[in-house]
Amino acid sequence: MAFKLASVSTLALTAALGLTMAACTSMPGWSGAGTAAPVQAPAQVQWVRDVHSHARPEIARVHHVDLNLKADFDRRMLAGTASLSITAEEGAGEIIVDIRDLDIHGVRSDDGPLDYTIGEESPFIGKPLIIAIPFTEGRIHIDYSTRPDAAALQWLTPEQTAGGEQPYLFSQGQAILTRTWIPTQDSPGIRQSYSARIVVPEDLKAVMSAEMLTPEGEPAGPGERAYRFRLDNPVPPYLIAIGVGDIAFASLGERTGVYTEPSMLEAARAEFPAVESMVEEAEALYGPYLWGRYDLLVLPPSFPFGGMENPRLTFATPTIIAGDQSLVALVAHELAHSWSGNLVTNATWDDFWLNEGFTVYFENRIMEAVYGRDRAMQEQVLGWEDLQGELADLPPEDTRLKLDLAGRDPDEGMTNIAYEKGAFFLRTIERIVGRDRFDAWLKGYFERNAYRPMTTAMFLEDIRTHLIQGDAALEEALMMDAWVYQPGLPSNAMAPVSQAFDPVDAAARSVFVEGGAPPQSLWQGWNTQQRQRFLAWRPEGHQAGQDWLSDAQLKALDEGLGLSAAGNSEVLFAWLQIAMTHRYEPAVAPTEAFLKGMGRRKFVLPLFQTLWGEGEWGRDLARRIYAEARPLYHPVTSNSVDAVVGVPD
Ligand code: BES
Ligand code: ZN
């Protein structure tokens, strides 16, 4: 990309321009429940080059997005205007925003039409929309519409919802999908506040990751209602999110609640009584929750992730509603992102571990505070086992915390390395310096860096300045450079231990090694984490696809423990993985029902991979199931499965 000013283009990489983001945000000093605390002004923003965006923020940047969109369910299209408030350097002459699969109908300033060009498409990244700007401060209005197959959006038919009566729409922006529904600078280092007016059919409700200004909506055109939203806290654009459907609300606490379809509301309300105390414990650990309300949106089953930390409104899969609160660590996780990720944000996707590793660490601290040390340690041990599996599967260069994702889809960085190696790195520091010192540093880290992008190098600088403070022995003991820049695990990593797993491991040995009967009565007394531990057992040196059980053993397990009928999605998934690896016929129907009943990629993709590894038996089955299930999935899930099974004709 060539710039109009040679003197500006030399600033392109990591120049610090001394921009204050305070100048970018209007900051009414409100207070009261549900309203976010005033945004603190970060001192300086260092622009770091993001290879997954066309934007050049060092030359011209977006600081507020105002959307005026109509949701057209018949055409599966959002159409209207994105008004971008921008700041440019003197003489910049143009601003570049990211678009992918958007139809641009025109670009205007407040005074009239603006010239624009659309550049070449790059894989994953989309195209640059280059707009000529005759000013350094002002607004540009982009008239546009989305495509029916916009990768961020899923348009559900009524049959794909719980209620079965109304259609549904939801978005998933992370990592680089927001540009498929909003033309803006879609880079995690370019924070933007936003506001929106969304027009929907009158029997539907719109919700967004923002303050809901019109909870009941307001009259719009015939048969339509409009909903308005505002988020004054500047956020990376991947956190702008929308849901539209037959959506009801139940309060959980003073500043917490849950939105979902009416038929799901009671189950959701009953699952999440702990949410308010999670917010309190999180604040007690690492400082005030700065976003006002914390609500959940429990989506229809095709939601492709477990959870997504959209500000003020975590999006969650209904598969975490287990009936016994056993999977609520996911809520602790998404809540923790309100600090790690949403306040202190990975500057680029190469620094993804700064979002997820910190969040898994913080999540587990919330779980410990609310549910006790024993439960927290069980979850740590399960995470450690996942990490060992990931380390064995990935090429060593992908096991560094700091990644180099140039030329790759940022999705490829979404591994247990970022999540679990990242978390165990922080636990290693905690163990060596002591919890009190570690907590004081981490609280300060969130405070010092709130509303700012963070790189791995900046993190190292922060911890050296504020925690290590030149202590050479401590520096050596922590092995920080090895943790972030080297593959695998440094020698100071320590496996967590949970005594609650001792009887589980003994039972697993007796069943799986000695051929004993399934531990029916023990199983009844085990919690979900113990059941997951039991089902995660594999023989020493086990390779993917290898069998280790006989048909008789599978039958005894299935019938003795009621596995194919398990209501807990994690337990059912773990069992179906075992059953399909062994081509265990009685579990084919439950597998098919599971794969057609939800679209969470973490469950769907590994099951299809397992089937695909089982020769023609599994491949025929995978093709048959996928032909029917694919239309139910969000593009995030179907794109991943397409790469394994292929696109059905
Ligand atoms: N932010 C992630 C989800 C994500 C990451 C979406 C990268 C797109 C790209 C979210 O916080 C997350 O980690 N979800 C996990 C659950 C969590 C408990 C580990 C998930 O969805 O499984
Ligand atoms: Zn996360």
CATH number (domain holding residue 92): 2.60.40.1730
**Nearest-CA residue for atom 17 of ligand 1:** 330
Cβ of 175 less than 6 Å from ligand 1:
yes
In a domain, 312, yes or no: no
Tokens 């400082």, located at residue: 287
The residue from 58, 211, 334, 430 that is catalytic is: 334
pLDDT digits (tens, 9 = 90+) for 285-304: 999 999 999 999 999 999 99
**Cα(359) to centroid of ligand 2, in Å?**
6
Cβ of 307 less than 6 Å from ligand 1:
yes
Residue type, 568: N
Identify whether residues 62 and 171 lie together within a single domain: yes
In a domain, 339, yes or no: no
Ligand 1 closest atom vs CA 356: 13
**Cα(306) to centroid of ligand 1, in Å?**
6
Strand partners, 194: 65, 231
Best of 305, 327, 603 for a ligand 1 pocket test (most atoms within 8 Å of beta carbon):
305
**Cα(95) to centroid of ligand 2, in Å?**
31
Q: Residue 577: which CATH number?
A: 1.25.40.320
Cβ of 309 less than 6 Å from ligand 1:
yes
Residue type, 336: A
Identify whether residues 451 and 527 lie together within a single domain: no
Rounded distance between C-alpha atoms, residue 545 and residue 561, angstroms = 23
Contacts of 252 (CB under 8 A, 6+ apart): 258, 269, 272, 273, 275, 276
Cβ of 183 less than 6 Å from ligand 1:
no
Rounded distance between C-alpha atoms, residue 587 and residue 329, angstroms = 28
Rounded distance between C-alpha atoms, residue 398 and residue 646, angstroms = 25
**Nearest-CA residue for atom 21 of ligand 1:** 306
**Percent of the chain predicted with pLDDT > 70:** 93
**Cα(368) to centroid of ligand 1, in Å?**
20
Strands (E), 33-187: 60-72, 77-88, 94-99, 102-109, 112-113, 116-118, 127-132, 137-146, 153-156, 168-171
**Nearest-CA residue for atom 2 of ligand 1:** 308
- Cα distances (angstroms) measured from residue 454 to each of 153, 205, 481: 28, 36, 17
Identify whether residues 436 and 554 lie together within a single domain: no
Identify whether residues 515 and 442 lie together within a single domain: no
**Cα(456) to centroid of ligand 2, in Å?**
17
In a domain, 271, yes or no: no
Q: Identify how many contiguous H helices and E strands the chain contains and give both numbers.
A: 21, 23
Ligand nearest to the CA of 178: 1
**Nearest-CA residue for atom 11 of ligand 1:** 308
Q: Is there a catalytic annotation at residue 334?
A: yes
Question: Which residues place a Cβ less than 5 A from the ion ligand 2?
Answer: 356, 359
**Cα(237) to centroid of ligand 2, in Å?**
16
**Cα(372) to centroid of ligand 2, in Å?**
22
Residue 36: predicted pLDDT:
67
What 8-state DSSP symbol labels residue 534?
H
For 235-287, the DSSP string reads E-GGG--EEEES-EEEE-SSSEEEEE-GGGHHHHHHH-TTHHHHHHHHHHHH-
Q: With a threshold of 0.75, does the pTM exceed it?
A: yes
Identify whether residues 456 and 508 lie together within a single domain: no
In a domain, 579, yes or no: yes
Ramachandran quadrant class, 18 (left: phi over 0; alpha: psi -120 to 50; beta: rest) = left
Query: Tokens for 169?
Result: 């729409």
Cβ of 174 less than 6 Å from ligand 1:
yes
Identify whether residues 39 and 162 lie together within a single domain: yes
Q: Give me the domain span that covers residue 389.
A: 345-485
**Nearest-CA residue for atom 22 of ligand 1:** 306
Ligand 1 closest atom vs CA 355: 1
Cβ of 420 less than 6 Å from ligand 1:
no
Ligand 1 closest atom vs CA 359: 11
* Per-run averaged pLDDT (10 residues), the chain, 649 residues: 30 28 30 52 70 98 98 98 98 98 98 98 97 98 98 97 97 98 98 98 98 98 98 98 98 98 98 98 98 98 98 98 98 99 98 98 99 98 97 97 97 97 99 98 98 98 98 98 98 98 98 95 98 96 92 97 98 98 98 98 98 98 98 96 96
Identify whether residues 455 and 364 lie together within a single domain: yes
Domain final residue, candidates 485, 508, 530? 485
**Cα(477) to centroid of ligand 1, in Å?**
31
Query: Tokens for 236?
Result: 């990376």
Residue 19: predicted pLDDT:
30
**Nearest-CA residue for atom 6 of ligand 1:** 174
Residue 58: predicted pLDDT:
96
Domain final residue, candidates 226, 246, 266? 246
Cβ of 264 less than 6 Å from ligand 1:
no
Cβ of 518 less than 6 Å from ligand 1:
no
In a domain, 242, yes or no: yes
In a domain, 1, yes or no: no
Identify whether residues 77 and 196 lie together within a single domain: yes
Rounded distance between C-alpha atoms, residue 367 and residue 586, angstroms = 37
Ligand 1 closest atom vs CA 309: 11
Cβ of 210 less than 6 Å from ligand 1:
no
Cβ of 362 less than 6 Å from ligand 1:
no
Identify whether residues 77 and 171 lie together within a single domain: yes
Q: Which long-range contacts (CB under 8 A, 24 or more apart) does 517-520 make?
A: 517/556, 517/560, 518/556, 518/557, 518/560, 518/561, 520/560, 520/561
Identify whether residues 511 and 480 lie together within a single domain: no
Residue 544: predicted pLDDT:
87
* Count of domains observed in the chain: 3
Cβ of 197 less than 6 Å from ligand 1:
no
In a domain, 431, yes or no: yes
Cα-flanking dihedrals φ and ψ of residue 369, to 5°? Answer: -65, -40
Cβ of 334 less than 6 Å from ligand 1:
yes
Is there a contact between 88 and 97 (Cβ–Cβ < 8 Å)?
no
**Cα(158) to centroid of ligand 1, in Å?**
26
Domain final residue, candidates 222, 246, 270? 246
Cβ of 602 less than 6 Å from ligand 1:
yes
Rounded distance between C-alpha atoms, residue 490 and residue 425, angstroms = 9
Ligand 1 closest atom vs CA 333: 18
Identify whether residues 72 and 102 lie together within a single domain: yes
In a domain, 67, yes or no: yes
Strand partners, 154: 170
Sheet containing strand 127-132, strands side by side = 94-99, 127-132, 116-118
Identify whether residues 238 and 373 lie together within a single domain: no
Is there a contact between 219 and 225 (Cβ–Cβ < 8 Å)?
yes
Q: Residue 479: which CATH number?
A: 1.10.390.10
